[in-house]
Amino acid sequence: MTTRIQRLPRFLIPLLALILLAPTPAAERVRSRRAVTEARREALGRVVPRGQSHPARPGRTRTPAGLTPLAAARLSRFGGFMGPGLGREVGPAAARLRRQRVMASRSRQQGPRRLSPLVRELVAASRRGAALPAHLLGEASTDLLDADRIRMQLLLRPGVGNLDRDLSAVSAEVIRSTPTVVTVWVPYDNLPRLLEAEAVQAVRLARRPARDETRPRLAAATSLAAGAVVSEGVALSGADVWQGFDSARFGVERETPVTIAIVDTGFFGYGELLGSELPATVTTADFAPAWDIEGCLIAAPLDPCFATGTALAEIVSDMNPTAELILVAVDPDSISSFQQAIDYLAGSGSGVPLASIVVGGAVWAPGLSGDGFGAGPYSRMISQLTAQGVSWINDLGDLDFLSFLLYGTDTPAPARDHWTGPFVDQVDHLFRGQFDADGYMDQWLPDQDPQSAETWLNEFCLGPGDYIFFDLVWDDWVDVDQDGIPETTEDYALDFWEMIDGKLVLFDTSSSLPDNFQGGEEGDYPWDTFDMFNSGSETLCYELAIFAEFALGDNRFHLYWAADNLTTPGQLSASFQAPASITAGNRMIPADTPGVIGVGTSSLTDQVEPFSPWGLEGEASPALCAPADVSTVTFADGGFVTSFAAAHVAGAVSLLMQKLGFVTTTEALELLEARARDITGSAPDVQCGAGRLCMLTGRCSEGL
């Protein structure tokens, strides 16, 4: 049998030759990466000679280290082990060498892994012998300062070092202590020495809870009739109408009350409200090692106590007076405390959860507590509970509080925002062009052309006195032993370029800080921080870029930034220009966790509150939004906590389940989403989900 060889049509021969002779994507990627590595090395090495004036910025000098003064100050506390300049620290070989040097130096570096940018400024000022710069703290200075002492919160490395000895050496006074977090008063002059404590992993400012006036109101509430103070959200949502519905008459009333657990830091004064604002009996469980169920420090009984949980319980009871409540106190900074609470609510091994619904009163910022994409210790623990069919309802967070968690100040920055997106460093090889594979993310905004020459850059400008903080977090939370401390291997950097004489010059990079190092070791978080300050008299503009320092380049990012002015706090200069941002997706943990019902915050006049974060496109969160500026006995008529919005939704879900006994939590939520009031004009959307909470069909008011 003869096999006939088919001849290729002539028109296919040139195309086949093109395909066979074209460089492979892998080879092209290697060549391109080598080219950009050389360019980046050259750019980093093209620094102004030490002591000379910057040619494009008269009067602005480089330090002997070849860095800006701010960068040099940061490096000085690590002994300057990275060398006299940045030029030798770029490229794959240099990156491996840097990792070896970092590993070798870790045993002798006793500084913390993480400092909030504001703490770094305070430490630098203390090192210089400058007076305590109280203006950096803004309105929060009254809570954070005590004469020459600063209130600090230390995140610990369990089982490492001798913390008592180190705190005594710097004359620090312990305010409260848990196995993982210690709050102290420390003299300003001793701040640099505090950073030498081997047990300290991270340092941030610690705000003081201000609830001194709560007890008198609670004591007065004992004489009130049941339900004398009712949240305005009851009438706004139509819950009062459902409360009056006699479902038992139709045989659909639930036979047993719905049980709702409230997980918060404390429930100050809840006992005074039993039988009036709260049910006559409640179940309590305290898993906070340093304070009791009321949120009062055991070692300091005269200090203010945590009362937010009591107000949450009030709102749930206002929405559904028949609900049974479990009050669970936790230390939100302690993973072990939170895990004990989760195990308790899961039934302690019985497999039967104690509650159908949980209202979460705590939120965490991406970085130390997770990656903002559903991975992290708190997301993992909450998922254990939702996997058993329990509905966890949480607010999306509070952007003012987020600023405190990330940047260490209670005072909201006059400008702040967020960006999210994937790392993409290629274009289609066959149809749109060659891989550029230069190590830089190709584009910042989805509507940009990735083949454009400028989409990899994101410009921002700082006027005189302006400063800006950056936090870059990505989805590489690797925690093999599940102790809440990751071992991230994917290493990215924020690069800052500027235009000098018509050429782009790499001005600085977050990889210059040993804090911003990921090499698969315990304590390597998928998180880079960086801050910049314009101390001159001219406007300085930079181009921001994300570089894959040592990574596969397939991660997603959250970039948070906040800016203010040191000369005129609360008012940026007229020449400040913010980087391009994408607000959607700035929700906090655990609203990023699959299965968690996220709730946005709206006003009583049906406006989405400006400090309420947004969900991420394609996610189910937020489901709804609800009011938070409502009346409770605990906070009188001035209480405003974003978790109040979650309490309204939890109460509404449980009320529907109570009145319609055949309805599950999922079905009740779907009913609420179908009846929600669209207050943005674009529901469902990332701001308010299906809309503002409404339990009625077309009868909810337009706001109070």
Instruction: Say whether 34 sits in a helix, a strand or coil.
Output: helix
Residue 491, number of CB atoms within 10 A of its CB: 24
Contact 693, 594 (CB under 8 A): no
Domains within the chain, CATH numbers bracketed: 27-106 (no CATH), 114-205 (3.30.70), 214-222+229-397+588-675 (3.40.50.200), 404-565 (2.60.120.380)
pLDDT at 437: 64
Distance between the two ends of the chain, CA-based, in angstroms?
91
Q: Which two tokens stand for residue 212?
A: 């001194």
Contact 464, 536 (CB under 8 A): yes
Greatest Cα pair distance, the chain, in angstroms, is: 106
> In what helix (H) or strand (E) does residue 565 lie, and over which residues does it extend?
strand 556-565
Contact 462, 455 (CB under 8 A): no
> In what helix (H) or strand (E) does residue 404 lie, and over which residues does it extend?
helix 399-407
Q: Establish how many alpha carbons lie within 13 A of residue 107's alpha carbon, considering only the half-sphere containing its beta carbon.
A: 4
Report DSSP letters for 227-270, one per residue.
TSS--HHHHHHTHHHHHT--GGGGT-S-SSPPEEEEEES--TTH
CA distance 378 to 335: 7
pLDDT at 117: 59
pLDDT at 101: 43
Of the candidates 529, 533, 538, the one whose C-alpha atom is nearest the C-alpha of residue 509 is 529
CA distance 70 to 127: 13
Q: Establish how many alpha carbons lie within 13 A of residue 511's alpha carbon, considering only the half-sphere containing its beta carbon.
A: 31
Burial degree of 407 (CB within 10 A; 0-12, 13-18, 19+): buried
Instruction: Say whether 659 sits in a helix, a strand or coil.
Output: helix
Query: Which residue bears the tokens 């690797």?
Result: 478
Q: What is the pLDDT of residues 180-198, one digit of tens each?
A: 678 889 999 998 888 888 7
Contact 438, 32 (CB under 8 A): yes
Rounded to two decimals, the pTM is: 0.77
pLDDT at 129: 84
Q: What strands, in cross-sheet order, belong to the sheet with 415-422?
A: 415-422, 556-565, 466-474, 527-533
CA distance 416 to 571: 12
Please confirm whether the linkage preceding 590 is cis (ω < 30° from 0). Answer: yes
Residues in the chain: 704
Phi then psi dihedrals of residue 236, to 5 deg: -60, -35
Amino acid code (one letter) for 552: L
pLDDT at 315: 96
Contact 468, 563 (CB under 8 A): yes
Tell me which residues of the chain have a pLDDT lower than 50: 1-5, 17, 19-21, 23-34, 36-37, 41, 43-113, 209-224, 428-435
Q: What pairing do the DSSP bridges indicate for beta strands 324-329 and 357-360?
A: unpaired
CA distance 247 to 660: 7
- Name residue 524's beta-bridge partners: 487
Distance of CA 88 to the CA centre of its chain: 34
